[in-house]
Amino acid sequence: MSGLRNVALWSACWLLGSVAFAGEIAPAPGTVVLRAAHLFDAVSGESRANGAIEVRDGKIVAVGSDVHIDSDARIIDLGNATLLPGFIDAHVHIAYEFDSDYYRHAWDLLTRFPAEQALYASVFARRTLEAGFTTIRNVGATGEYIDVSVRNAINAGVIPGPRILTAVHAISATGGSCDQWPFPPHHIAPHGPIDGTCNGADQCREAVRDQIKWGADVIKICVSGGVLSADPVDVPEFTRAEIEAMISEAHAWRRKVAAHAHGDTAARYAIEAGVDSIEHGSFLTEDTLRLMKRKGTYLVPTRMALYWVEKQADTYPPVIAEKARVAAAAHGKMFQTALRLGVPIALGTDQTVMPGGHGRNAMEFSLMTALGMSNPAALLAGTREAAKLLGVDAEVGTLEPGKWADIVAVPGDVLTDIRATEHPLLVMQRGRVVLQPR
């Protein structure tokens, strides 16, 4: 009987887990009409005057300058403002945030209980949503499945936050940029495939399957060294065979793959294997960027992270400080080359790197335009293009009838002042107003 009881318990847990993973944020009932002097059309990349959006039961039903208004509709007139699709951050780590003291950050990660860290993550999620980011892609957490837990709590309506597509653990080679720090193994057990650390093609396939088993919507692989880790920043950390195994396995399970890659060789391996996006890309050559353009591989540049590590380089351990300076110097030139070539770009901040940065994600818009990206192109990177990369463009990313009413309003004309994105007046998620003018 005990064996049958265990089977029944296992089956119930599996079913409940599956339901939790599949949950969605509930839409708001009723009808709301939003009005503003400007509306950014993320289909054309142009602005319309006298914008209006009718929302019913969480979805957009009409967009234009003159929409029908039901007698029972709630009207919100924002005046001299711009209506836009809810922003999307394609590269964030919602479970934690760096401290201005690098060593204190390491201590906090070691000593905080998972429940304590989850409370921090819930605050970061709320700040991100109120900043206008209604959808995020979480590309790796600290362990203990905090990212999965926060996603499920948001979907259940327990806490406010953006829609989260999460990767669970980022997958790394032993000693690679996304592996744990080299703690003495007799004190802290080394990671294995379930934790995202693997070696050899078969074990790397296992690591992908493990992340999917525990709730991954997307797979994150770390194919080159990192800036804030102790490894060389530009070396490949997986073989071609390992990279091909991970990407093919993820795609077989209908999961997209994001590849952390500062180094050019590692990025090329991933692009040739069919990866969906390259994250950071500091040392990408023009030839590799041309390959990305041909294959439709997205660049998620994370300017915010490189801006911050360069600014704070003197506070890091020497081996990290030098990498930060070199990577930041190369990154701006790479980004400008990608713009010139027309590489697909999706907005991503790598927020966790900048202390106090959760909720300041919109800085990424002005950091990209400072290097020559036009205001409309930057807005598209954080709306339509990010939605395409995440595979949610049928639901969000543009203001079109039938899509979820994920909407943000910012003061003035955003096409003349991109920094208006940093000061949202109103944020709506699936028709529910989560931030509005007082």
- 21 pLDDT band, cuts 50/70/90, is very low
* Predicted local distance difference test score (pLDDT) of residue 186: 61
| Phi/psi of residue 51, nearest 5 degrees | -80, 145
Question: pTM of this prediction?
Answer: 0.92
- 192 pLDDT band, cuts 50/70/90, is low
Residues in CB range of 264: below 8 A, 6 or more apart: 234, 283, 284, 285, 288
* Predicted local distance difference test score (pLDDT) of residue 195: 77
Buried b (16+ CB within 10 A) or exposed e, 158-167: ebbbbbbbbb
Instruction: Please give the single-letter amino acid code of residue 348.
Output: G
Spatial contact of 87 and 407, defined as CB atoms under 8 Å apart: no
- 315 pLDDT band, cuts 50/70/90, is confident
Crossing angle of the two packed helices 146-155 and 114-130, in degrees rounded to 10: 50
Q: How far apart are CA 242 and CA 250, in angstroms?
A: 12
Mean pLDDT (the chain, rounded): 90
Residues in CB range of 2: below 8 A, 6 or more apart: none
* Predicted local distance difference test score (pLDDT) of residue 246: 98
Which helix (H) or strand (E) segment holds residue 164: the answer is: strand 163-166
Which helix (H) or strand (E) segment holds residue 104: the answer is: helix 102-111
Spatial contact of 171 and 178, defined as CB atoms under 8 Å apart: yes
Q: How far apart are CA 187 and CA 383, in angstroms?
A: 45
Average pLDDT on 222-238 reads: 87
Spatial contact of 179 and 169, defined as CB atoms under 8 Å apart: no
Domain 87-390 has CATH 3.40.50.300: no
* Predicted local distance difference test score (pLDDT) of residue 319: 83
Instruction: Match domain 31-86+397-435 to its CATH number in 3.20.20.140, 3.40.50.261, 3.30.530.20, 2.30.40.10.
Output: 2.30.40.10
Q: How far apart are CA 361 and CA 346, in angstroms?
A: 13
* Predicted local distance difference test score (pLDDT) of residue 10: 47
Q: Residue 47 CA to chain centroid, in angstroms?
A: 26
Q: How far apart are CA 432 and CA 436, in angstroms?
A: 11
Retrieve residue 179's tokens. 């592996």
Average pLDDT on 100-118 reads: 83
Crossing angle of the two packed helices 201-213 and 240-252, in degrees rounded to 10: 30
Spatial contact of 45 and 380, defined as CB atoms under 8 Å apart: yes
Calculate ∠ Cα 55-60-66, nearest 5°: 75
Average pLDDT on 249-265 reads: 97
Number of residues written out for the chain: 438
Three-state DSSP string of 191-228: CCHHHCECCCHHHHHHHHHHHHHCCCCEEEEECECCCC
The conformation of residue 189, written as its DSSP 8-state character, comes to: P
- 375 pLDDT band, cuts 50/70/90, is very high
Integer-rounded Cα Rg, in Å, for the chain is 22
Crossing angle of the two packed helices 146-155 and 2-22, in degrees rounded to 10: 70
Which residue intervals of the chain bear CATH 3.20.20.140?
87-390
* Predicted local distance difference test score (pLDDT) of residue 233: 84
* Predicted local distance difference test score (pLDDT) of residue 190: 56
Residue 154 region, left (φ>0) first, then alpha (ψ -120 to 50), else beta? alpha
CA distances from 292 to 2, 44, 65, 315 (A): 56, 23, 38, 35
* Predicted local distance difference test score (pLDDT) of residue 69: 78
Quick check: 1 pLDDT over 50? no
Q: Other C-beta atoms within 10 Å of 113: how many? A: 9
Least confident of 79-83, 182-186, 332-336, 362-366: 182-186
Average pLDDT on 378-387 reads: 98
Better pLDDT: 320 or 82: 82
Instruction: Please give the single-letter amino acid code of residue 335.
Output: F
* Predicted local distance difference test score (pLDDT) of residue 16: 46
Average pLDDT on 39-64 reads: 95
Average pLDDT on 19-46 reads: 86
* Predicted local distance difference test score (pLDDT) of residue 183: 61
Residue showing tokens 């770390």 = 222
Q: Which residues pair with 87 in a beta bridge?
A: 133
Residues in CB range of 221: below 8 A, 6 or more apart: 170, 171, 172, 238, 243, 246, 247, 257, 258, 259, 260, 270, 275
Better pLDDT: 64 or 134: 134
Which residue intervals of the chain bear CATH 2.30.40.10?
31-86+397-435
Spatial contact of 222 and 170, defined as CB atoms under 8 Å apart: yes
Retrieve residue 58's tokens. 């969480």
Quick check: 11 pLDDT over 80? no
